[in-house]
A and B are shown apart, each in its own frame.
Chain A
Protein backbone atom coordinates (compact mmCIF):
# COMPACT_ATOMS: atom_id res chain seq x y z
CA UNK A 1 0.00 0.00 0.00
CA UNK A 2 1.61 3.24 -1.16
CA UNK A 3 -1.24 5.61 -0.51
CA UNK A 4 -2.32 8.21 1.98
CA UNK A 5 -6.09 8.13 2.37
CA UNK A 6 -8.02 11.18 3.53
CA UNK A 7 -11.65 11.31 4.55
CA UNK A 8 -13.98 12.94 3.91
CA UNK A 9 -13.17 14.30 0.45
CA UNK A 10 -15.53 17.21 0.91
CA UNK A 11 -16.86 18.84 4.07
CA UNK A 12 -19.20 21.76 4.61
CA UNK A 13 -19.50 22.99 8.16
CA UNK A 14 -20.98 25.89 10.04
CA UNK A 15 -18.93 28.16 12.23
CA UNK A 16 -20.32 26.58 15.39
CA UNK A 17 -19.83 22.98 14.31
CA UNK A 18 -17.23 20.48 15.44
CA UNK A 19 -15.85 18.15 12.81
CA UNK A 20 -12.77 16.02 12.22
CA UNK A 21 -10.60 15.22 9.24
CA UNK A 22 -8.97 11.83 9.06
CA UNK A 23 -5.78 10.64 7.41
CA UNK A 24 -4.46 7.08 7.20
CA UNK A 25 -1.34 5.46 5.78
CA UNK A 26 0.07 1.94 5.91
CA UNK A 27 3.52 2.53 4.48
CA UNK A 28 5.26 2.40 7.84
CA UNK A 29 6.00 6.10 7.71
CA UNK A 30 6.57 7.58 11.16
CA UNK A 31 6.22 11.25 10.18
CA UNK A 32 2.85 12.70 9.27
CA UNK A 33 1.86 16.23 8.31
CA UNK A 34 -1.07 18.54 7.90
CA UNK A 35 -0.95 21.23 5.22
CA UNK A 36 -3.45 23.91 4.32
CA UNK A 37 -3.73 25.01 0.71
CA UNK A 38 -5.69 27.95 -0.62
CA UNK A 39 -6.63 28.06 -4.29
CA UNK A 40 -3.67 28.40 -6.65
CA UNK A 41 -1.27 28.81 -3.72
CA UNK A 42 1.42 26.49 -2.38
CA UNK A 43 0.67 24.25 0.57
CA UNK A 44 1.37 25.78 3.97
CA UNK A 45 2.66 23.57 6.72
CA UNK A 46 0.44 23.40 9.81
CA UNK A 47 1.62 20.48 11.93
CA UNK A 48 4.25 17.76 11.91
CA UNK A 49 4.07 14.56 13.93
CA UNK A 50 7.11 12.38 14.36
CA UNK A 51 6.75 9.01 16.11
CA UNK A 52 3.22 10.05 17.12
CA UNK A 53 4.46 13.15 18.93
CA UNK A 54 3.82 16.70 17.82
CA UNK A 55 7.12 18.05 16.49
CA UNK A 56 6.08 21.23 14.73
CA UNK A 57 3.14 23.56 15.19
CA UNK A 58 3.43 26.45 12.77
CA UNK A 59 1.55 28.86 15.04
CA UNK A 60 -1.78 27.45 13.99
CA UNK A 61 -4.89 28.83 15.76
CA UNK A 62 -6.26 26.64 18.53
CA UNK A 63 -9.49 26.06 16.62
CA UNK A 64 -7.40 23.45 14.76
CA UNK A 65 -6.41 20.56 17.02
CA UNK A 66 -4.30 17.70 15.66
CA UNK A 67 -4.17 14.22 17.04
CA UNK A 68 -2.04 11.20 16.19
CA UNK A 69 -3.59 8.19 17.94
CA UNK A 70 -1.20 5.67 16.38
CA UNK A 71 1.49 5.40 13.74
CA UNK A 72 -1.02 4.98 10.90
CA UNK A 73 -3.60 7.61 11.76
CA UNK A 74 -3.66 11.38 11.89
CA UNK A 75 -6.70 13.46 12.74
CA UNK A 76 -7.41 17.15 12.57
CA UNK A 77 -10.21 18.30 14.87
CA UNK A 78 -12.01 21.45 13.83
CA UNK A 79 -14.05 23.74 16.06
CA UNK A 80 -15.42 27.25 15.66
CA UNK A 81 -13.82 27.79 12.30
CA UNK A 82 -14.05 30.96 10.25
CA UNK A 83 -14.97 31.29 6.58
CA UNK A 84 -11.35 32.14 5.79
CA UNK A 85 -10.41 28.65 6.97
CA UNK A 86 -12.05 27.26 3.86
CA UNK A 87 -9.30 25.50 1.92
CA UNK A 88 -7.95 22.17 0.76
CA UNK A 89 -6.42 20.33 3.72
CA UNK A 90 -3.69 17.94 2.74
CA UNK A 91 -2.20 15.15 4.74
CA UNK A 92 1.23 13.75 3.94
CA UNK A 93 3.57 11.16 5.34
CA UNK A 94 7.25 10.34 5.08
CA UNK A 95 10.01 8.36 6.64
CA UNK A 96 11.78 9.98 9.55
CA UNK A 97 15.41 10.89 9.41
CA UNK A 98 17.98 13.15 7.85
CA UNK A 99 18.38 11.14 4.65
CA UNK A 100 17.91 13.79 1.99
CA UNK A 101 15.98 11.66 -0.43
CA UNK A 102 13.00 11.19 1.89
CA UNK A 103 10.08 12.81 0.11
CA UNK A 104 6.45 13.12 0.98
CA UNK A 105 3.49 11.03 -0.05
CA UNK A 106 0.41 13.22 -0.17
CA UNK A 107 -3.23 12.34 0.22
CA UNK A 108 -5.84 13.76 -2.16
CA UNK A 109 -7.03 16.21 0.44
CA UNK A 110 -10.26 17.29 2.08
CA UNK A 111 -12.00 20.27 0.51
CA UNK A 112 -13.37 22.21 3.49
CA UNK A 113 -15.97 24.93 3.18
CA UNK A 114 -16.94 26.94 6.26
CA UNK A 115 -20.30 28.68 6.01
Chain B
Protein backbone atom coordinates (compact mmCIF):
# COMPACT_ATOMS: atom_id res chain seq x y z
CA UNK B 1 0.00 0.00 0.00
CA UNK B 2 1.12 3.55 -0.70
CA UNK B 3 0.48 6.40 1.68
CA UNK B 4 1.93 9.61 3.02
CA UNK B 5 1.31 11.28 6.35
CA UNK B 6 1.61 14.91 7.28
CA UNK B 7 1.59 14.99 11.07
CA UNK B 8 0.99 18.73 11.43
CA UNK B 9 -2.27 20.37 10.43
CA UNK B 10 -0.67 23.77 10.75
CA UNK B 11 2.80 25.25 10.97
CA UNK B 12 3.43 28.80 12.16
CA UNK B 13 6.70 30.58 11.48
CA UNK B 14 7.93 34.15 11.52
CA UNK B 15 9.05 35.77 8.30
CA UNK B 16 12.77 35.32 7.76
CA UNK B 17 12.97 32.18 9.89
CA UNK B 18 13.56 28.73 8.43
CA UNK B 19 10.53 26.55 7.88
CA UNK B 20 9.96 22.81 7.80
CA UNK B 21 6.80 21.00 6.74
CA UNK B 22 6.93 17.33 7.61
CA UNK B 23 5.99 14.31 5.54
CA UNK B 24 6.50 10.61 6.13
CA UNK B 25 5.75 7.92 3.62
CA UNK B 26 4.90 4.26 3.46
CA UNK B 27 5.41 2.60 0.11
CA UNK B 28 6.19 -0.77 -1.33
CA UNK B 29 9.06 -0.47 -3.75
CA UNK B 30 10.80 2.73 -4.72
CA UNK B 31 9.12 5.90 -3.51
CA UNK B 32 8.31 8.66 -5.96
CA UNK B 33 7.55 11.66 -3.80
CA UNK B 34 6.17 15.07 -4.65
CA UNK B 35 5.32 18.32 -2.93
CA UNK B 36 2.51 20.57 -4.12
CA UNK B 37 1.34 23.96 -2.87
CA UNK B 38 -2.19 25.32 -3.01
CA UNK B 39 -3.20 28.95 -2.61
CA UNK B 40 -6.81 29.78 -1.71
CA UNK B 41 -9.31 28.83 -4.41
CA UNK B 42 -6.54 27.68 -6.69
CA UNK B 43 -5.35 24.38 -8.06
CA UNK B 44 -2.27 22.61 -6.83
CA UNK B 45 1.09 23.82 -8.05
CA UNK B 46 4.08 21.53 -8.34
CA UNK B 47 7.03 22.42 -6.09
CA UNK B 48 9.49 19.56 -6.35
CA UNK B 49 9.87 15.81 -6.60
CA UNK B 50 12.18 13.03 -5.58
CA UNK B 51 12.63 10.15 -7.97
CA UNK B 52 16.17 8.95 -7.42
CA UNK B 53 19.65 10.28 -6.86
CA UNK B 54 20.63 13.12 -4.56
CA UNK B 55 18.68 13.10 -1.32
CA UNK B 56 18.42 16.88 -1.29
CA UNK B 57 16.00 18.06 -3.94
CA UNK B 58 15.70 21.71 -4.91
CA UNK B 59 12.45 23.08 -6.26
CA UNK B 60 10.50 26.20 -7.05
CA UNK B 61 10.40 29.42 -5.00
CA UNK B 62 13.49 28.51 -2.95
CA UNK B 63 12.00 25.35 -1.47
CA UNK B 64 13.93 22.16 -1.02
CA UNK B 65 13.18 18.75 0.43
CA UNK B 66 15.32 16.10 2.01
CA UNK B 67 14.65 12.47 1.28
CA UNK B 68 15.60 10.23 4.21
CA UNK B 69 15.19 6.57 3.49
CA UNK B 70 15.97 5.32 6.98
CA UNK B 71 13.37 7.61 8.52
CA UNK B 72 10.97 7.28 5.54
CA UNK B 73 10.62 11.02 5.49
CA UNK B 74 10.50 13.72 2.85
CA UNK B 75 10.35 17.02 4.72
CA UNK B 76 9.90 20.29 2.88
CA UNK B 77 12.23 23.11 3.89
CA UNK B 78 13.06 26.70 3.16
CA UNK B 79 15.91 28.66 4.75
CA UNK B 80 14.02 31.95 5.05
CA UNK B 81 10.21 32.08 5.00
CA UNK B 82 8.22 34.77 3.25
CA UNK B 83 4.70 35.93 4.10
CA UNK B 84 3.77 34.95 0.54
CA UNK B 85 4.68 31.34 1.33
CA UNK B 86 1.52 31.10 3.44
CA UNK B 87 -0.55 28.40 1.78
CA UNK B 88 -1.65 24.77 2.02
CA UNK B 89 1.07 22.22 1.30
CA UNK B 90 0.50 18.65 0.20
CA UNK B 91 2.94 15.80 0.12
CA UNK B 92 2.11 13.06 -2.37
CA UNK B 93 3.41 9.68 -3.43
CA UNK B 94 2.99 8.33 -6.91
CA UNK B 95 2.10 4.69 -7.21
CA UNK B 96 5.09 3.31 -9.05
CA UNK B 97 3.45 0.18 -10.35
CA UNK B 98 0.05 1.62 -11.22
CA UNK B 99 0.69 4.68 -13.24
CA UNK B 100 -1.14 7.95 -12.90
CA UNK B 101 -2.40 7.44 -9.38
CA UNK B 102 -1.24 9.79 -6.65
CA UNK B 103 -1.87 9.51 -2.94
CA UNK B 104 -1.98 12.85 -1.15
CA UNK B 105 -1.28 13.58 2.47
CA UNK B 106 -3.84 15.44 4.54
CA UNK B 107 -2.17 18.78 3.97
CA UNK B 108 -0.38 21.27 6.21
CA UNK B 109 -1.41 24.90 6.47
CA UNK B 110 1.67 27.09 6.60
CA UNK B 111 1.23 30.50 8.23
CA UNK B 112 4.12 32.93 7.89
CA UNK B 113 3.71 36.00 10.08
CA UNK B 114 5.42 39.33 9.43
A4 to B43, Cβ gap below 8 A?
Answer: yes
Interface residues of B in 25-45 (CB under 8 A from A): 30, 32, 34, 36, 41-45
Least Cβ–Cβ distance between A55 and chain B, in angstroms: 7
Q: Given that A42-B90, A42-B105, A108-B42 are contacting pairs, would A103 and B34 also be in contact in the complex, using a CB cutoff of 8 Å?
A: yes
3 tightest A-B CB contacts, nearest first:
A106-B43, A42-B104, A100-B32
The chain A residues found within 8 Å of chain B, CB to CB, are 4, 6, 31, 33, 40-43, 45, 48, 50, 55-56, 88, 90, 92, 94, 96-98, 100-109, 111
Task: With A96-B100, A100-B51, A103-B94 given, name 14 new contacts (CB 8 A).
Answer: A4-B43, A6-B43, A41-B106, A45-B101, A55-B100, A92-B43, A98-B96, A100-B32, A100-B94, A103-B34, A103-B49, A104-B44, A104-B102, A105-B46
